[in-house]
Amino acid sequence: MGVRRLKPTTPGQRFRVANTFEEITTDKPEKSLLVPIKKSGGRNNQGRMTVRFIGGGHKRRYRIIDFKRNNFGIVGEVKTVEYDPNRSAFISLVEYSDGEKRYIIAPNGVKVGQKVEQGPGVVPEIGNALLLTEIPLGTLIHNIEMSPGQGAKICRSAGSYAQLMAREGKYASIKLPSGESRLILSACLATIGSVSNSEHSQEVKGKAGRSRWLGIRPRTRSSVMNPVDHPMGGGEGRSKGGQPRSRNLIYSQGQKTRAPKKSSSKLIIEKRKSIRNK
């Protein structure tokens, strides 16, 4: 897995840092696991724009990903490693011994022909999904459930992973990529290893057109708007425009966004690291 800097044959290529896609083994997805995606362009059911800067982009089909890994006791074989336009991580097609095919988030270092399993009593190897009670302490994990049987919710994006730190009673303590440490029920599933495409954050689009291909429209800076359009607009010359905030007067820095009475707050051992707290 790696990235490469392209030769500046055109202005758009000059700053481009592209993925080499060395891990990808095929460009043809499994048809039985595809469903269509209808784009909204940021409009609601009345046709009014409710989310700005969304629209256009290349047509996509959604790949149905198995986040639950609930076919316990059935061995699967990794058939492909594929690109998924709907997420930053790569995905793998797994064919199980009963003939069923499922997509999973590809772990870092997964190989075609590798065997994967899930459920109680499984060996803690890369790609296998185990209960937190059976994973050795200190192991790097991803695709972590927050409630048993719910399906993976944590550490699903490219290169992300958490670390299993301790177990006490019915809870396990994990350290998340944000720096937060929290308790999760030990009956939840997690997958061994880190997520593939770990150098995704080093990619550079190189030109505005690449954002348009991804369905991202140009974003106007709030400080160059007029006062009627945004609280940070107006002023003579390049004015600061006050404290950064949205057009609905919601501050973007320093304001707490977590619900004060959220039930899961008691499971957080250490809050995530923040630059403003240092």
Q: Evaluate whether 34 touches 63 at the Cβ level (below 8 Å).
A: yes
Quick one: what percent of the chain has pLDDT higher than 90? 87
Q: Token pair of 136, please? A: 């050795």
Q: What is the pLDDT of residue 37?
A: 95
Q: What is the pLDDT of residue 278?
A: 47
161-to-63, 229, 259, 271 alpha-carbon distances in Å: 22, 41, 25, 17
Q: What is the pLDDT of residue 268?
A: 94
pLDDT at 20 exceeding the cut of 60:
yes
Q: What is the pLDDT of residue 275?
A: 60
CA–chain centroid gap for 113, Å, is 25
**What mean pLDDT is predicted for residues 245-258?**
87
Q: pTM of the entire structure? A: 0.91
222-to-85, 164, 168, 178, 227 alpha-carbon distances in Å: 30, 42, 49, 28, 10
pLDDT confidence of 1, banded at 50, 70, 90? Answer: low
Superfamily name with CATH number, domain 3-201+263-269: Nucleic acid-binding proteins (2.40.50.140)
Q: Evaluate whether 96 touches 76 at the Cβ level (below 8 Å).
A: yes
Q: Evaluate whether 54 touches 42 at the Cβ level (below 8 Å).
A: yes
Domain segments of the chain as ranges:
3-201+263-269
pLDDT in tens, 79-114: 999 999 999 999 999 999 999 999 999 999 999 999
What value does the mean pLDDT of the chain take?
Answer: 93
pLDDT confidence of 242, banded at 50, 70, 90? Answer: confident
Residue 160 CA to residue 82 CA, distance in Å, equals 18
pLDDT at 56 exceeding the cut of 50:
yes
Q: Long-range pairs for 206-210 at CB < 8 Å and ≥24 separation?
A: 206/6, 206/12, 206/13, 206/14, 206/15, 206/16, 206/17, 207/11, 207/12, 207/16, 209/12, 210/12
Looking at the chain, the number of H-run helices and the number of E-run strands are: 1, 17
pLDDT confidence of 4, banded at 50, 70, 90? Answer: very high
**What mean pLDDT is predicted for residues 157-171?**
96
Query: In the chain, helix, strand, coil percent, each to 5?
Result: 10, 30, 65
